[in-house]
């Protein structure tokens, strides 16, 4: 050992600097990026609230749209949004949950189920406006629903279906295998096990996923414009075959007018929309927390 | 119930669940059928060569041209700007969250970033039109009120959480042994991250990048509100343009009767959009699956 020449290390000055400052530099840049992104979120909220807060009033929530911005309100859009979300839930939830149960509990190792899975993953990435074109061709024209709440809810149900299926499967996956095996050991059939054991214990998770999918539906605008939801509706929908508008479309309509007063209305509408989303997400988070505590 | 009846019920339920799961395939079939039906009718009147290579898009004027390239250029321009914002920032945020941030900070910052992804797109349109563009106009006086730059930046902010959360998942699933190996060889955290962890997560990160591109070209409301309605073949981000999605919205807002050539243009444009996003999603899914296999 003693006669071997010592290993010489070339000291590269850039490597030295990299070792000295690299960590600090990378970390600082990354922190700056995160802070900038959160600042953008703050700026967005500040901008909306400073423009729209003063327009917000009971009168704004209960009035019909008007050519005079100060008198205009969002009543038909609000009712339309509730109709749309309710009907979308009724259409999407049973099919979505049933599909998830099939794929998670029955379809394991089944070739057909594998194809359906890949198909759902691809559907989740289709732009929402394409669903609008589907709704226009299928519901509005072929099935003759016209530009009704039903056509809108059908379109939205197809749009959220992949999300409902994916989140329900997540929820089913968290149910421990031992629970199923215990049920089988007592002589229950597969469906009895699913209906009496697996589903009840997965329910909070299923609802969390459902609420999050529906909050996606509340904010969607493009597919409803495509199927021809009206941009100016001076009446509230009175049934599922009635023409309708929703909050995001009312906001879009006000945004496309040049007067600044309508932009204020748009901002006030956005505050209402964000409040609805916040409420829904809070419910989802509370459900999930309670669920996790029960599990622990 | 005797055993026989029970078996019949079980079988019936399984069939029904399967049918629900199979609906999702019908949705895909429906999208393709509707788009194909109208696109073929469109291509009977306009040659596919003119559609795909023409440089003028004026289907709503008296002198009609049906070259889709200006819309494609508008989409590419806005998406490119969005990617310049979202890809580096998203990756840096992911690196910070996965490799540097202390656990508690991570649990606060991550949900906050995800709020950005939950904001409805029409709200981002408002932000682009009435906040970001006026702000940019103070820096660039020649910037037009409708332009590609403002919406592009805002779209980048919107897509950032998608990139950061998927890239973080990818970084997170790189086995700790690789990091420890790098540390044992004397690497700093930054050297371990940039030379070992990020290359190891490369296919997962590129999957998130490709998904981001697909999301950008399908995004509708931001550009419909803030980018303008002037299809033009340009790379200048300061002037009004029109994207493929914004064109579909523009026609849907008007009262174009079904069956006319103008009406069919939105399905032809939609078909092109569908094919583009579908191919990107397919590549992204493939990459993600390969990544998962590497570290399963």
Comparing B120 with A66, which gets the higher pLDDT? B120
For B88, the token pair is: 């580096």
User: Three-class SS string for chain A?
Assistant: CCCCCCCCCCCCHHHHHHHHHHHHHHHHHHHHHHHHHHHHHHHHHHHHHHHHHHHCCHHHHHCCCCCCHHHCCCHHHHHHHHHHHHHHHHHHHHHHHHHHHHHHHHCCCCHHHHHHHHHHHHHCCCCHHHHHHHHHHHHHHHCCCCCEHHHHHHHHHHHHHHHHHHHHHHHHHCCCHHHHHHHHHCCCCHHHHHHHHHHHHHHHHHHHHHHHHHHHHHHCCHHHHHHCCCCCCCCCCCCCCCECCCHHHHHHHHHCCCCHHHHHHHHHHHHHHHHHHHHHHHHHHHHHHHHHHHHC
Nearest to B109, CA basis, from A81, A114, A200, A37: A37
In terms of average pLDDT, the best of A60-69, A108-117, B162-171 is B162-171
pLDDT at A23 over 90: no
How much is the pLDDT for B55?
87
Nearest to B227, CA basis, from B142, B121, B133: B133
Q: How confident is the model over A120-147, as a mean pLDDT?
A: 91
Q: What is the mean pLDDT of chain A?
A: 88
Fold of A60-295: MetI-like fold (1.10.3720)
pLDDT at A2 over 60: no
Measure CB to CB from residue A231 to each of B95, B121, B253 and give the nearest one: B253
Map out the domains of chain A as residue ranges: 13-55, 60-295
DSSP state of B139: H
Give B142→chain A minimum CA distance, Å: 20
Give A116→chain B minimum CA distance, Å: 6
How much is the pLDDT for A195?
92
pLDDT at A145 over 70: yes
Q: How confident is the model over A33-50, as a mean pLDDT?
A: 93
Please say whether the beta carbons of B218 and B245 come within 8 A. yes
Give A240→chain B minimum CA distance, Å: 22
Q: What is the pLDDT of residues A248-270, one digit of tens each?
A: 999 999 998 888 888 999 999 99
Residues 6+ apart with CB under 8 A from A230: A147, A243, A244, A245, A249
pLDDT at A3 over 70: no
Which candidate in B126, B214, B224, B266 is best for mutational testing of the A interface (most A CBs within 10 A)? B126
Q: What is the pLDDT of residues B43-101, one digit of tens each?
A: 999 999 989 998 889 888 888 889 999 999 999 999 999 999 999 999 999 999 999 98
pLDDT band with cut points at 50, 70 and 90 for residue A101: very high
Is the Cβ pair B93, A30 closer than 8 Å? yes
pLDDT at A68 over 70: yes
Q: Search chain B and give the residue with CA nearest A37.
A: B157
Give B65→chain A minimum CA distance, Å: 22
Q: Residues in chain B with pLDDT < 50?
A: none
pLDDT band with cut points at 50, 70 and 90 for residue A295: low
* Gap between the Cα atoms of B64 and B85, Å rounded: 36
Fold of B69-294: MetI-like fold (1.10.3720)
Which candidate in B8, B11, B20, B131 is best for mutational testing of the A interface (most A CBs within 10 A)? B20
* Bridge partners of residue A243, in order along the sequence: A148
Q: How confident is the model over A137-160, as a mean pLDDT?
A: 91
Comparing A158 with B256, which gets the higher pLDDT? A158
How much is the pLDDT for B1?
67
Q: What is the pLDDT of residues A217-249, one digit of tens each?
A: 899 989 999 988 776 677 778 888 888 889 999
Number of A:B CB contacts under 8 A? Answer: 251
């Amino acid at each position: 050992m003693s006669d071997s020449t010592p290993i010489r290390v070339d000291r590269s000055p850039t490597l030295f600097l990299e070792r000295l400052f690299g960590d600090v530099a990378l970390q600082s840049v990354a922190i700056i990026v995160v802070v900038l992104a959160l600042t953008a979120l703050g700026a967005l909220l500040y901008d909306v609230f400073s423009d729209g807060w003063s327009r917000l009033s009971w009168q704004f929530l209960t009035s019909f749209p008007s050519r005079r911005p100060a008198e205009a309100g969002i009543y038909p859009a609000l009712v339309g949004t509730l109709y749309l979300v309710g009907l979308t839930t009724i259409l999407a939830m049973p099919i979505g949950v049933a599909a998830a149960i099939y794929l998670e509990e029955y379809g394991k190792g089944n070739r057909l189920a594998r194809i359906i899975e890949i198909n759902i993953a691809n559907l989740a990435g289709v732009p929402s406006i394409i669903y609008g074109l589907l709704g226009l061709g299928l519901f509005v024209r072929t099935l003759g629903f016209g530009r009704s709440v039903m056509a809108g809810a059908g379109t939205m149900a197809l749009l959220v279906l992949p999300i409902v299926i994916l989140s329900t499967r997540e929820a089913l996956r968290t149910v421990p295998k031992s629970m199923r095996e215990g049920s089988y050991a007592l002589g229950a059939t597969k469906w009895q096990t699913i209906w009496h054991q697996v589903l009840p214990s997965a329910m909070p998770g299923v609802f969390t996923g459902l609420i999050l999918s529906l909050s996606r539906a509340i904010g969607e605008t493009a597919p409803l414009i495509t199927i021809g939801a009206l941009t100016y509706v001076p009446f509230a929908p009175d049934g599922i075959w009635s023409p309708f508008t929703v909050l995001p479309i009312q906001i879009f309509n006000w945004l496309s007018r040049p007067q600044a007063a309508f932009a204020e209305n748009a901002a006030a509408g956005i505050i209402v929309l964000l409040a609805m989303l916040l409420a829904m997400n809070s419910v989802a988070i509370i459900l999930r927390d309670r669920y996790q505590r029960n599990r622990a | 119930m005797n055993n026989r009846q029970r078996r019949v019920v079980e079988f019936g339920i399984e069939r029904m669940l399967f049918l629900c799961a199979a609906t999702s395939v019908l949705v895909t079939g429906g999208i393709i059928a509707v788009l194909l039906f109208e696109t073929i009718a469109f291509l009977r009147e306009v040659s596919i060569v003119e559609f795909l290579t023409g440089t003028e898009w004026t289907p709503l004027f008296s002198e009609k041209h049906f070259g889709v390239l200006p819309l494609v250029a508008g989409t590419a321009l806005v998406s490119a700007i969005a990617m310049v914002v979202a890809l580096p920032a998203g990756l840096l945020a992911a690196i910070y969250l996965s490799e540097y941030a202390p656990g508690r900070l991570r649990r606060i910052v991550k949900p906050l970033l995800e709020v950005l992804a939950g904001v409805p797109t029409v709200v981002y349109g408002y932000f682009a039109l009435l906040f970001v563009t006026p702000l940019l106009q103070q820096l660039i006086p020649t910037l037009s009120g409708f332009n590609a730059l403002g919406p592009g930046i805002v779209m980048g902010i919107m897509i950032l959480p998608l990139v950061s959360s998927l890239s973080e998942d990818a970084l997170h699933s790189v086995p700790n042994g690789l990091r420890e190996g790098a540390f044992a060889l004397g690497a700093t955290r930054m050297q371990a991250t940039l030379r070992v962890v990020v290359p190891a997560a490369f296919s997962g990160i590129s999957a998130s990048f490709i998904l981001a591109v697909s999301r950008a070209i399908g995004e509708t409301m931001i550009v419909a509100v803030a980018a303008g309605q002037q299809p033009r073949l340009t790379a200048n981000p300061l002037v009004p343009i029109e994207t493929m999605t914004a064109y579909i919205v523009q026609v849907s807002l008007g009262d174009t009767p079904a069956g006319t050539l103008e009406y069919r243009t939105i399905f032809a444009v939609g078909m092109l959009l569908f094919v583009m996003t579908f191919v990107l999603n397919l590549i992204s899914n493939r990459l993600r699956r390969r990544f998962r296999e590497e570290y399963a």
